Amino acid sequence: MLQAFGHSLAQLSDRTILAILLKVILFTLLLFALFGVAAYFGLVWLFAWLGWTDGGFAAAATAAIIAILTGYLLFRIVAIFVLNIFSDDVVDAVERRYYPDRAETAKPPSYALGFKMGIASVGRALGYNIIAAPLYVVLLATGIGAPIVFFAVNAILLGRDLQDMVAARHITEFQKFDTSALLSKMERFLLGLITALLLAIPFVNFLAPLLGAAMATHLVHRKKEEISV
C-alpha cells in the first residue's frame, strides 16, 4: 500500500497526469459554479414569487453560501463522479509507465460508461450516507464517533469505486475472476480510507481522486500478478 502511494505521488509530476488533474479540477469547479448559478436564479424566482422586489443581492449572497456549503459537503461525491469520466486517462498513464503489457491489452471504456459509473457512484454515496445519517447524529455527542463512522462508510464506497475504474479497462482479462475479489476487503478499505482522508484536507483534496485512482491501478495489477502465479 505504501509503495503504491509512493509511486502514485511521484507520478504527479508527469505532464499527462498534470493535464488530467487540471481537467478534473476545472470540471469539478465548473459543476459547483453551475449549481451556484442555478441556485441564484432559483432564489430570484422564489423571492419574486414571495413579493420581495429587492431580493437580487440576497439571492446572490444566499446562492454563494449554498454553493460553498455544497462544495464543502459534497466535494467527495462530485470529485469521484468527475474522476469516473476521466479515470481511463489516469489508469492508462500509470499502466504505460509501470505496466506496459497491461496497457497494451487494455480496452478503454467509453466516456458514456464512465458517466454511468459516476452516476452509480453518486447514488451509492448519497444512499449509504443518508442511511448512516441518524448514526452520525447520535454519535455527534461523542466528538469522534461520527467522523470515524463517516470515514469508514466512505472508505468502503471509495475502495469499490477506485477498483472498478481499473477493472473496467480489463473486463475481458478479469472475467474469469470475480472483480469484487481482485482486492481483498481490507485492501479496498485501506485504499478507500487513504483517499477519503486526503479528500478531507483542503487543497490536497484536489489531488486525492487522482492519487486514489493511481494507487488502485498499482494494487489491482499486483493482485492480478499474484493470482496469475
Per-residue model confidence as pLDDT tens digits over 87-129: 888 889 999 989 998 888 888 887 788 888 888 888 998 899 8
pLDDT band for 177, please (50, 70, 90 cuts): very low
Residue length of the chain: 229
Q: Render pLDDT for 180-218 as a digit per residue (tens, 0 to 9).
A: 447 888 999 999 999 999 988 888 888 898 999 999 999
Domain range list for the chain:
2-228
- Say what the pTM is: 0.81
- State the DSSP H helix or E strand holding residue 110, giving kind and residue range, or none if neither: none
Return the number of other C-beta atoms located less than 10 Å from residue 77's C-beta. Answer: 20
Q: What percent of the chain has pLDDT over 70?
A: 90
Gap between the Cα atoms of 199 and 185, Å rounded:
21
